[in-house]
A and B are shown apart, each in its own frame.
Chain A
C-alpha cells in the first residue's frame, strides 16, 4: 500500500480492502438464503460481499457479528429490486440503509447514526435504539425503532403525493426532532417514559413546513419550535396512528391496544411557508 509519507494521508476506508474473491469463507449459502459472518470484515468488504451475493440471486441474507460496518445495503440499489431481506445481528455502523431503495433491513441490536439517511423506499426495523440523524431527508419507506433515538431525528423528511415516509420511534427522542420537516408521518410513542415524565426533546419541529408528528406522552409547549403548533387528534389521525402503531407493535411483539391507550397529540406546522415574511422583495 503506497502511503503518502509527506502528508501522512491514509485512506481510512479503502486501505487494506481485500477483493471479494478472498472473502468467500465469510459466506454460507443455500439457494436464495445466505449467511455472512461480518466479524473482521471492513466496511467496504461487507458491502462488496452483499452486492456479490445479491447479484447472484440471494434474497434472504443474515449477517452475524456486525460490528460498526457502515452503509449496509446502500450499494444494493440498482441491482436488487425490492425483495431483499437483510437480518443484521450486532451493531451496524453509521448510515445504515443510506439512500435505501426498496430493501428490508431488520437489526437485532442497536444502530448508530444516520439510519435511513435520504432513504427512498424500503423498510428498516431496529430492535433496539438508534443514534443521531435518523431518517434525515427520508422521502419514502418506513423506519421502526423500538427504543429511543438520538438528536436531529426526522430532519427534513419530505413527501410528494402518495409517497409518504413513515418513522415510528418507540421511546423518546432528543433535540431538533423533526426540524425542517417538509412532509411525512412521524410517531413518537414514548413507551420508555416513566409515568408522568416528559419527552426530552427541545426545538421540536423548528422550521417545520409540512408533514405531521404524533406524540404520545407529555410534551410542553416550551419544547416546540416556534413554527409549529400542538393539536388534539381527530378520527382520521387516530386511523393513521392505529395503522402504524399496529405495524410497530407487530414488529416488536407488543400490544397495539396498550399503545393506543396513551394520549396522542399531533404537531403540525403553522405554515407551509415559515420564512415568507423574512425577506424584503
Chain B
C-alpha cells in the first residue's frame, strides 16, 4: 500500500446483518476482509479494496456495501483525485502506472450521437418473428467480379474464390490470450463461439493442444510480436490467422505478461520457461515496413497452404485510413481496427488514456478510403474497441464494418465488473488470473451459456432493428450510411463519419 493515499473505496459492514460466515474473507483475493478470532469480529481493510463488488454480491445477508470513498480532497476540476493518486504513486515507485480494461476517460462516444433509421409508411418494415432475416457474414477477400454459369441444377461459380470464413452473426470475440485470462475464461469463449457459430480470438498465448481439434474451426489465431505458441499446427488448426500489429488500449507498444502469470500450462503454450516474463516487443522485428508486412502475410499464407484468410489488426491512429490501404495492398484479407476505447489485460495508463482515436471515426475513414481506392472488396473490415450493445454494432456495420470484435462486453457477461485490476493477476471473478483458487470460480459450462445468451439476444435485437428499417439481410446495411444520422455533431465530425445530420 502506498502511504498517504486516500482509499478509493469504502466498505460498510452492517453489523446487525453480518453473521461472520467469512465468505467475504474467502472471496477477496486482495485481503480486504479478515476475521479476528480473538474478538470474534470481522474487520475490513479499505486501502486494498479495488471495488470489484465480489464480496458485496456474495454476502449471504447483504451486510456489505462497497462504494467510492466519501473522503475527498478539495474538489478541483484540473487536479482530479485520479491525477492526485497517480502522482503520489509515482513519487513513491518511479514506475509506469499500469491499468486494465478499456479507456474510462470522457472522450465522445460517437455511437451515442448516431441514430438509425426505420420505415414509416413509404416502405414497409419487416417482422423478424415471421420472416427470415440474414445475419450471416463472410470474412475474407471477395473477388472483383464473379463469372456465373447457369445450368440445370441452378448455377455454378466459375471463378476461383478466395478463402472466406462464414460466421452466423457479425460479432466475434476479441483477442484475449490464455495467460492474460484464465483457462476457464478462455475455454468459455471458445465454447460459446462454437455454439453460436462465430469466432473467438486466441490472442498471443497459443491455443492449448487439447482445444485445437474441437475449437480450432472457431478460432482466430494470432501471430504477434512475441510469436508465442506459434507453430504450423497452430496456424493450420484455425479458421483465420491474425497478425497483431497493435491494440487500441496500447497503440505502438508491446506487452509484458508478468512472470507471476506464466504458470506451468501458460509456459507450455507459449514455449517459454515457467515464471519468466513473456515479453512481446513493441514492433514485430521482422516488420519495419508495409513490404515487410506483406512478407509475413504471404509467409502465413504459405504456412497455411492458402486455405485461410489472413487478418491484420492495428490500433486506430491518426493516419489509419492510409495504413489500412497499405495493409490491403500488402495482401491482407481482413483488416481489424481497434479504437481508443479497446480493452487490455495490462497497459500503461498514460497510453491507454491518451493514444489512438475513436473507432467510429477510424472505421468511417477506413471504409471511405478503401471505397475511394476501389479496393474495399479486397478485404473485410472488423471494428473493435468498446462495443457495448447491439445498437453500437449495427451502427458500426452501417458505417462500413463487416463485423465487430467484442472483448469487454463479453467479459462483463462472464462476471467482470471493470475494476481495472486485471494486471494484478488477482481477478476475484476468476477471469484475469492464473491462480487456480480464483480461476476455478469460473465454470466454462455455465459461463459459456451466458456468452451464448448475450450473442443470441443481440442477434434478436439486430434483427428487430433491421426489420424496422425494412431490411432483411445484414449485407444490405453494410456501409449504408444513409441509414445513419448524426445528433449533436459538428460539421467536421459529420464529414469524417460520412453521415448527414438528423433532419437532413
A-to-B contact residues, CB < 8 Å: 2, 4, 6-7, 9, 11-13, 43-44, 47, 51, 70-71, 74-75, 77-78, 94-95, 98-99, 101, 113-114, 117-118, 120, 133, 136-137, 139, 152, 155-156, 158-160, 163, 176, 179-180, 182-183, 207, 209-210, 272-281
Contact = CB atoms under 8 A, between A and B. Distances in A.
A137 B227 contact: yes
B135 interface: no
13 contacts: A2-B144, A6-B373, A9-B328, A9-B374, A9-B375, A70-B298, A117-B299, A133-B285, A137-B227, A210-B272, A272-B277, A273-B258, A276-B277
Interface stretch (B124-132, B195-203, B232-240, B477-485): B232-240
Which 6 pairs of residues, A with B, have the shortest CB-CB distance?
A280-B95, A137-B227, A77-B232, A6-B374, A280-B93, A160-B271
Contact of A75 (B223, B276, B305): B305
Contacts of A99: 230-232, 235, 299, 303
Contact of A183 (B273, B285, B305): B273
Given A137-B230, A139-B231, A280 B285 contact: no
B15 interface: no
B272 A136 contact: no
A133 B286 contact: yes
A136 B286 contact: yes
B375 A280 contact: no
B268 interface: yes
B272 A160 contact: yes
Nearest to A163: B271
Contact of A98 (B226, B299, B328, B331): B299
B470 interface: no
Contact of A152 (B228, B285, B298): B285
A278 to B, nearest CB: 6
A280 B96 contact: yes
Contact of A51 (B256, B299, B305): B305
A7 B375 contact: yes
Contacts of A9: 328-329, 373-375, 378
B295 to A, nearest CB: 6
Interface in B292-307: 294-295, 298-299, 302-303, 305
Contact of A77 (B145, B278, B303): B303
B211 interface: no
Contacts of B298: 13, 43, 70-71
B272 A281 contact: no
Contact of A158 (B271, B281, B331, B375): B271
A160 B231 contact: no
B97 interface: yes
A15 to B, nearest CB: 11
Contacts of B281: 155-156, 179-180, 207
A7 B306 CA distance: 24
A12 B301 CA distance: 14
A273 B96 contact: no
Interface of B is mostly: mixed
Nearest to B370: A7
B302 A75 contact: yes
Nearest to A136: B286
B279 interface: yes
Contacts of A7: 373-375
B191 interface: no
B450 interface: no
A156 to B, nearest CB: 6
Sort chain B's interface into a size bin: 35 or more
A133 B289 CA distance: 14
Nearest to B223: A118
Contacts of A95: 295, 299
Interface string B81-105: 0000000011011111110000000
Contacts of B314: none
B96 A278 contact: yes
Nearest to B373: A7
A4 B305 contact: no
Contacts of B276: 182, 209-210, 272-273
B382 to A, nearest CB: 21
Contacts of A75: 302-303, 305
A2 to B, nearest CB: 5
Interface string B235-249: 110000000000000
A78 B307 CA distance: 13
B275 interface: yes
Of the listed residues A71, A136, A276, A281, the one surrounded by the most CB atoms of chain B closer than 10 A to its CB is A281
A137 B277 CA distance: 15
A118 B89 CA distance: 40
B267 interface: yes
B423 interface: yes
B60 interface: no
Contact of A273 (B93, B259, B271): B259
Contacts of A51: 305
B233 A183 contact: no
A47 B294 CA distance: 17
Nearest to B254: A180
Interface string B311-335: 0000000000000000011010000
Contacts of A163: 271
Given A4-B144, A101-B232, A183-B273, A275 B89 contact: no
Of the listed residues A98, A136, A280, the one surrounded by the most CB atoms of chain B closer than 10 A to its CB is A280
Nearest to A74: B302
A7 to B, nearest CB: 4
A2 B145 contact: yes
Nearest to B276: A272
A118 B303 CA distance: 11
Contact of A114 (B267, B295, B373): B295
A176 B285 CA distance: 10
B325 to A, nearest CB: 9
Nearest to A95: B299
Contact of B424 (A273, A275, A281): A281
B98 A279 contact: yes
A136 B295 CA distance: 14
